[in-house]
Amino acid sequence: MYQVWMGSYLLPVTPSKVNMTINNKNETVDLITGGEVNILKDPGLTTIDYECQFPNLTKYPFARYVNGQFQNAKYFLDAFERMKLDRKPFTFKILRSTPQNKTIFDTSMRVTLEDYKISDDADEGFDMKVSVNLKQWKDYGTKKLIVKKPKKKSSKKKAKTKKKKSSKKKKTASKTYTVKKGDCLWKISKKKLGKASRWKEIYKLNKSLIEKTAKKHGKKSSSNGHWIYPGTKLKLPKK
C-alpha cells in the first residue's frame, strides 16, 4: 500500500509509477594527449515526475482522502496552482507499507513544483489526469563580507571583557497535541517528534480515544488511525 503526499495534500489515487532521477554533474575533460578524464562532482538536484488521477464525481473504493472527505479535481488543481504561485518549497512524501500495514520505508524530500500538465480525456470520463514535474530543493544563503578599517593604536591598554553567552533554555516537547484541521498522524509525528515513522507510537498511545472519537462521527477506526478529528487531544510519546 502506497501513499503519495504533496505537502499536506494526499493524492486520492496513488500514481501507478513515480520516476525519481538523481542527476549527474560530473564533467569529462579532454587531455592534450587525446585521452579523457572524468572529474567527479557532487550530484545534481533530483527530479521527480509522475501522472496522477483526480476523480470528479465518483468516490472510488480504492481512492483515499484525508479524514475520508471526498474532494473533487478542482480542490487539488487549486492546491497545485497555489504551490506554483507561492514560489515556496514543500515536502514530497511516499509512504510504503505491506498489506498487513507493516512499514517498508518512506521517502521524504523538499521539492518545488516545476510544471504540471492537465489532461481532459474522454476515455477517462469525468476524471482528470495531471502530469507533474518536481525538483529537489536545497536551502542556501549568501554571506555578507564587511571590511573594517584598522583602529589607531592607543598608548592605553584597554581591559578586555568577555561577554557571557546567555544560556538558552532547552525547549521541551509538549506532552499532548490538539488535532487541527488537515492533520494526520504522519504529519503530527513529523512535526512534534521529528520523525514521521513514529506515527504508530502515537496511534498505540491513543488507540481507544481515536476509536471512540471515530465512532461518534459514525466511522469505524482503521488499524492505522485514519479517522482523527479537530479538537481531539492526543498524548505524545517521549522524544
d(C-alpha 239, C-alpha 234), whole Å: 15
What domains are there in the chain, each with its CATH number?
Answer: 1-26+35-137 (2.30.110.20), 173-239 (no CATH)
Cell 594527449 found at: 33
Per-residue pLDDT of the chain (239 residues; tens, 9 = 90+): 889 999 999 999 999 999 999 898 888 998 888 899 999 988 899 999 999 999 998 889 999 999 989 999 999 999 999 999 999 999 999 999 998 889 899 999 999 999 999 998 888 888 999 999 999 999 887 777 788 888 777 666 665 656 555 555 555 555 889 999 888 888 888 888 888 888 888 888 898 888 888 888 877 655 556 678 888 899 998 87
d(C-alpha 80, C-alpha 104), whole Å: 28
Contacts 24+ apart (CB under 8 A), 117-120: 118/77
* Neighbouring-strand partners of residue 131: 51, 117
